[in-house]
Amino acid sequence: MRLPKTGTIEIAPSILSSDFARLADEIAEIASADVKMVHLDIMDGHFVPNITIGPPVVAKLRKYSSLVFDSHLMISEPAEYAERFVEAGVNHITFHIEAAVEPERLVDKIHGFGCTAGVCLNPDTPVEAVEAIAPLCDMVLVMTVRPGFGAQKFMPEAAKKIIKVREIVGPDIRVEVDGGIDPQTAPLVVSYGADTIVAGNAIFSKSDRITAINALREATKQIL
Ligand code: DX5
Ligand code: ZN
């Protein structure tokens, strides 16, 4: 399981808004909508004011799913924990530039584990902060809400950074967007150059997740 090659738009459902008591079933349901990846939001209560799941839960989920596990580490010490998430079975690790001490070394380390690597920037972090590291990554994640919680309001100014990120990385690196994405905001972020669309609330607040995923997919095809 590898991050899909560039050239396609992928929907990455975020489990943050799913029913955590039924995680394996929730992931199986989105898999039946033909998504290739699931976005796992990992929060430590330090880097963000919320706590979600850690390696033991990821390892159990791995047994139930063959989707690409796109892990988004919203944790203070990503270099300390990356290996444990790889052992648990994630396929991709995104860390926050605001939390990384030696980002280039961390990208190398993640690649050394056989995983793809991503760097993420918060809404208040300028694109310049990832300018050097972005071309070394397989995916760059632009936050369009402050990380920590699902169902927040999309921040249009933060989304504009996608344009610059896409200019920096060119066509061969994925640009992912996370926060407040729904069928209304998806066409805009795609027009800016995003090709990997995270959505939590827009999918898991709906009783029919498959219809919700298809609505998002259709929205990404709109030409603005
Ligand atoms: C926020 C997380 C997101 C979150 C997005 O900290 O990183 O992945 O689940 O949720 P929505 O799509 O509800 O804004
Ligand atoms: Zn996320």
Ligand having the closest approach to the CA of 13: 1
**CA–CA separation, 139 vs 118, rounded Å?**
5
Question: CB 155: neighbour CB atoms within 10 A?
Answer: 17
Indicate the pLDDT class of residue 29, thresholds 50, 70 and 90: very high
Whole-number pLDDT of residue 90: 98
- Annotated catalytic residue, options 41, 44, 70, 195: 41
- Per-residue 3-state assignment (H helix, E strand, C coil) for 140-191: EEEECCCCCCCCCCCCHHHHCHHHHHHHHHHHHCEEEEECCCCCCCHHHHHH
**Looking at the predicted structure, is the pLDDT value of residue 224 above 90?**
no
Task: Return mean pLDDT, the chain.
Answer: 98
Whole-number pLDDT of residue 84: 98
Whole-number pLDDT of residue 80: 98
Q: Is 90 helix (H, G, I), strand (E, B) or coil?
A: coil
- Annotated catalytic residue, options 70, 138, 178, 195: 178
String of DSSP letters for 46-88: SSSS-B---HHHHHHHHTT--SEEEEEEE-S-HHHHHHHHHHH
- Pocket residue to mutate for ligand 1, from 19, 141, 178, most atoms within 8 A of Cβ: 178
**CA–CA separation, 124 vs 188, rounded Å?**
20
Write the pLDDT tens digit of every residue in 170-211. Answer: 999 999 999 999 999 999 999 999 999 999 999 999 999 999
**CA–CA separation, 83 vs 70, rounded Å?**
15
Whole-number pLDDT of residue 156: 98
pTM: 0.98
**Looking at the predicted structure, is the pLDDT value of residue 223 above 90?**
no
Q: How distant is the alpha carbon of residue 72 from its chain centre?
A: 6
Ligand 1 within 6 A of CB of 155: no
Ligand 1 within 6 A of CB of 14: yes
Q: How far is the CA of 103 from the centre of ligand 2 (A)?
A: 19
Write the pLDDT tens digit of every residue in 71-87. Answer: 999 999 999 999 999 99
Instruction: Name the one residue in this structure whose structure tokens are 């259709």.
Output: 218
Kind and range of the H or E element at 23? helix 23-31
178 tagged catalytic:
yes
Ligand having the closest approach to the CA of 122: 1
* Bridge partners, 93 (sequence order): 71, 117
Ligand 1 within 6 A of CB of 148: yes
Contacts of 34 (CB under 8 A, 6+ apart): none
70 tagged catalytic:
no
**Looking at the predicted structure, is the pLDDT value of residue 19 above 90?**
yes
Q: How distant is the alpha carbon of residue 220 from its chain centre?
A: 17
Start-to-end Cα distance in the chain: 33
Ligand 1 within 6 A of CB of 179: yes
Q: Is 26 helix (H, G, I), strand (E, B) or coil?
A: helix
Please give the structure tokens belonging to residue 175.
């640009």
